[in-house]
Amino acid sequence: MTKIIHLAPHDPIPEPGAHGLVLRRLGEDDPGALVTEMIFYGKQGGTIPAHKRDGTAMTLEEAIDAARDEAVTRDISTVFVLDRMEGAREQQVLRAHGGHNFTADVLSDSDPEDGERGSDLRDRPHDAGFMR
């Protein structure tokens, strides 16, 4: 039997191994849209769009059921579910139809605890390829 494990909205994606992942997130090209994907890792890895036979998008629950069935055929025992849309900021972005200007908060890509500094144009070399 395939085990379904629900992760918190901002948990990291599990390390690669033999498992499945159902991921619901904001669209990259259209941040007002929701995207649900089924991703499988391991020997028989790959991404499957979460669509029904008629081409319409699956709900998260439908995608979880489909990923469970697919995991059985791929002999994968665990499927993680990561719903980024459960996060408070993501809900604000969704309510703003993809807009991110609903607050004066500055988003940071840095993680000083891990010694990571986020991207900053001032850190790029002067000839990095962007116009001045």
Q: What is the mean pLDDT of residues 68-83?
A: 92
CA distance linking residue 13 with residue 25, whole number of Å: 12
Higher pLDDT, 67 or 92: 67
CA distance linking residue 85 with residue 10, whole number of Å: 9
Q: Do the beta carbons of residue 68 and residue 4 sit within 8 Å?
A: yes
What residues pair up with 46 in beta bridges, in sequence order? 40
Give the type of residue at 69.
D
Task: Give the model's confidence band at 3: pLDDT under 50 very low, under 70 low, under 90 confident, else very high.
Answer: very high
- Which pLDDT does position 9 carry in this prediction? 85
- Which pLDDT does position 107 carry in this prediction? 55
Residue showing tokens 């039997």: 1
Domain boundaries, the chain: 3-95
Question: 14-42 pLDDT, tens per residue?
Answer: 887 889 999 988 777 776 677 899 999 88
Task: Give the model's confidence band at 84: pLDDT under 50 very low, under 70 low, under 90 confident, else very high.
Answer: confident
Q: What are the Cα distances from residue 27, in Å, to 1, 88, 106, 128?
A: 32, 17, 21, 28
CA distance linking residue 35 with residue 24, whole number of Å: 6
- What is the pTM assigned to this prediction? 0.67
- How many C-beta atoms lie closer than 10 Å to residue 82's C-beta? 22
